[in-house]
Amino acid sequence: MLVAHCIIYLPKASNRLFSYIAICTCIVSHRGRVRTKTVKRASKVMIERYYPKLTLDFETNKRLADEIAVIPSKRLRNKIAGYTTHLMKRIQKGPVRGISFKLQEEERERKDQYVPEISALDLSHTDNQLQVDNDTADLLKTLGFSSLPLKVVHVSQQSAERRFRKRN
């Protein structure tokens, strides 16, 4: 077992003074991948401040972490760059909890403000009948909208393929 003490500094965006990020005392074992609070916090701050410069490539993110942050050891720098790369890949799939940057907020606002050009309730485009599935038709009947002209359409469900790691 190895006990590691580390301090990480990132420069502030407004001036070149270094802002305090974290002091961490952690016990590192060589068995599993344990990401300390320091690694996670430093990666999140890097993404929030330098998102346009970061990529999905570990080597590029490693060099960028070396330029923008004062990291006391090569091993810690590699851990931060690796977690940053991991988070960047997750951000590509969708929003990540705990990270907010301008592009992600603009994307969320754009989705919230979306108004379709043609309403789903406009009967003139669908042969004067609303196309709904069985569950929606039952819901409309229980809510008292049985007078609406409905056309029940069978919807095939897609099974989501889930991948699990086998632990042996």
Tell me whether residue 166 is in a domain: no
The pLDDT assigned to 158 comes to 64
| Least confident residue range of 3-7, 152-156, 158-162 | 3-7
CA gap 111, 25 in Å, rounded: 42
pLDDT digits (tens, 9 = 90+) for 42-78: 999 999 899 889 999 999 999 999 999 999 999 999 9
Tell me whether residue 143 is in a domain: yes
Tell me whether residue 114 is in a domain: no
CA gap 64, 55 in Å, rounded: 10
The pLDDT assigned to 168 comes to 56
3-state DSSP percent of the chain in helix, strand and coil, to 5: 40, 15, 40
The pLDDT assigned to 96 comes to 82
Mean pLDDT across the stretch 140-150? 87
Could you give the count of Cα atoms lying within 13 Å of 149 in the half-sphere of its Cβ? 7
- Within this chain, do residues 94 and 135 fall inside the same structural domain, yes or no? no
The pLDDT assigned to 161 comes to 66
Q: How far apart are the first and last CA of the chain?
A: 25
Range of the domain at 144: 126-152
Split into its structural domains, the chain has a count of: 2
- Within this chain, do residues 80 and 131 fall inside the same structural domain, yes or no? no
Over 50: is that where the pLDDT of 80 sits?
Answer: yes
CA gap 58, 56 in Å, rounded: 7
Q: CB count, 10 Å around CB of 61?
A: 28
| Least confident residue range of 21-30, 66-75, 88-97, 99-108 | 21-30
- Within this chain, do residues 84 and 136 fall inside the same structural domain, yes or no? no
The pLDDT assigned to 160 comes to 64
Find, among 40, 41, 68, the residue nearest to 54 by Cα. Answer: 68
Over 50: is that where the pLDDT of 25 sits?
Answer: no
> Quick one: which H or E segment has residue 25?
strand 18-28
Q: Write down the pTM of the prediction.
A: 0.50
Tell me whether residue 107 is in a domain: no
Mean pLDDT across the stretch 24-44? 70
Instruction: Give the chain's mean pLDDT.
Output: 78
DSSP string covering 88-117: HHHHHHS--TT---HHHHHHHHHHHT---S
